Amino acid sequence: MIEFCHVTAGYGGEPVIRDVSLRIPRGEITALIGPNGCGKTTLLRAAGRQLPLYGGEILLAGQPVSTCGRREFARTVSFMPQVRAVPAITVRGLVSHGRFPYLGLARQLRSGDRAAVEQAMEDTGVSSMADRDLRELSGGERQRVYLAMALAQETEVILLDEPTTYLDLGRQFEVLDLIQALNARGKTIVMVLHDLAQALEYSHRTVLMERGNVVLCANPQALYESGKIDEVFGVRACRTEGAWYFAPRSKG
pTM over 0.75: yes
* Residue in 178, 195, 175 with CA at minimum distance from that of residue 245: 195
What CA–CA distance (Å, rounded) separates 25 from 198? Answer: 20
Mean pLDDT for the chain overall? 93
Domain residue ranges of the chain, discontinuous segments joined by +:
84-154
What average pLDDT score do residues 74-103 get?
91
What CA–CA distance (Å, rounded) separates 169 from 197? Answer: 13
Q: Phi first, then psi: what are they for 235, rounded to 5°? A: -125, 180
Give 32-82 pLDDT, tens digit per residue: 999 999 999 999 999 999 999 999 999 999 999 989 999 999 999 999 988
In this predicted structure, which of 44-48, 106-110, 202-206, 214-218 has the lowest mean pLDDT? Answer: 106-110
Q: For residue 137, with 0-12 CB atoms within 10 Å meaning exposed, 13-18 middle and 19 or more buried, which class applies? A: middle
What average pLDDT score do residues 3-16 get?
96
What CA–CA distance (Å, rounded) separates 161 from 192? Answer: 5
What CA–CA distance (Å, rounded) separates 76 from 60? Answer: 9
